[in-house]
Structure 1
Amino acid sequence: MGKLTDLTSKGQVTIPKDVRDALGLRPGEPVEIELRGEGEAVTRRGPVRVTADPARVAAALERIRRVQRDHHHLAEGLDPDSYMAGLREPVPLPREIGE
C-alpha cells in the first residue's frame, strides 16, 4: 500500500486517512518512525501515553485512604479458628422466610 504525500516547509507530513485507519492512529497519539536504510522509513503506531487528570487522581487516592481508614479492621484478618467458628454459626433468617 504505497501512498504519496508532500512534506511541508515545517517538515510535517500528512498521513493519508486510509493509512491512519489501518494503523489505528488517532490525533494526539505518538507515531514511531524507524529508518530502514537509504531513503526508506517505516511508520507505525507508537506506544500510547496515558495521562491522568491530577484532580481525579487526588480524589481517587482520597477515596482509597478513606476506605482503608474506615475498614482497617478488615486488613488485620481473623485467625483460622475464629474464621471457621464464624462459618459454623447459624445465619439468622428474616421472620417471613424462617416460618
Structure 2
Amino acid sequence: MATTVTAKGQVTIPKPVRDFLGIGPGSMVDFKRAADGTIVLVPAENAKLQSRFARFRGHAKGGLSTDEIMALTRGE
C-alpha cells in the first residue's frame, strides 16, 4: 500500500493499516527502526489522546428521568 508524502511531510495511513493497528483520530503512533534498518509504524503505548470529556464518562448515575427534568425546567 503506497501513499504520497505532502509538501508538509504528511501522509495518510491507509484504512486497512489503521484498522489493523486499531488507530483512529487522536491516536498517537511511534516510528521504530527494526534490526534490518526498516522503519515500522506502531501504536504509541499509553499515548492515545484523551478527550477533554473522557474523565466525565460514567459519572451520570441514578439521575433524574426525562419527565422529572422537564418538570424542573417548567417550574412544576
- Per the alignment, residue 28 of structure 2 pairs with 30
Long gaps (5+) in structure 2: 60-76
Partners of 1:33 and 1:44 within 8 A in 2: yes
**Matched AA of 1:45:** P
- Per the alignment, residue 5 of structure 2 pairs with 7
RMSD over aligned Cα atoms: 2.5
Secondary structure in 1 matching 2:25: coil
Tell me which structure has the larger Cα radius of gyration: 1
Q: State the identity %.
A: 40
Long gaps (5+) in structure 1: 61-99
Measured against aligned partners, the alpha-carbon deviations of 1:21-66 in whole angstroms (never above 9, x if no partner) come to: 01101111101111231xx210011123464749x68xx8xxxxxx
Change (3 A) 1:34 1:52: same
Matches for 1:1-99 after TM superposition, within 5 Å: 3-36=1-34, 37=37, 40-49=38-47, 51=50, 53=52
Change (3 A) 1:8 1:52: closer
Instruction: Determine which structure has greater relative contact order: mean sequence separation of CA pairs < 8 Å that are 6+ residues apart, divided by chain length.
Output: 2
TM-score (ref. length: structure 1): 0.44
**Matched AA of 2:17:** V
- Per the alignment, residue 69 of structure 1 pairs with none
TM-score (ref. length: structure 2): 0.55
Counterpart-to-counterpart distance in 1, 2:26 and 2:52? 16
Counterpart-to-counterpart distance in 1, 2:41 and 2:28? 11
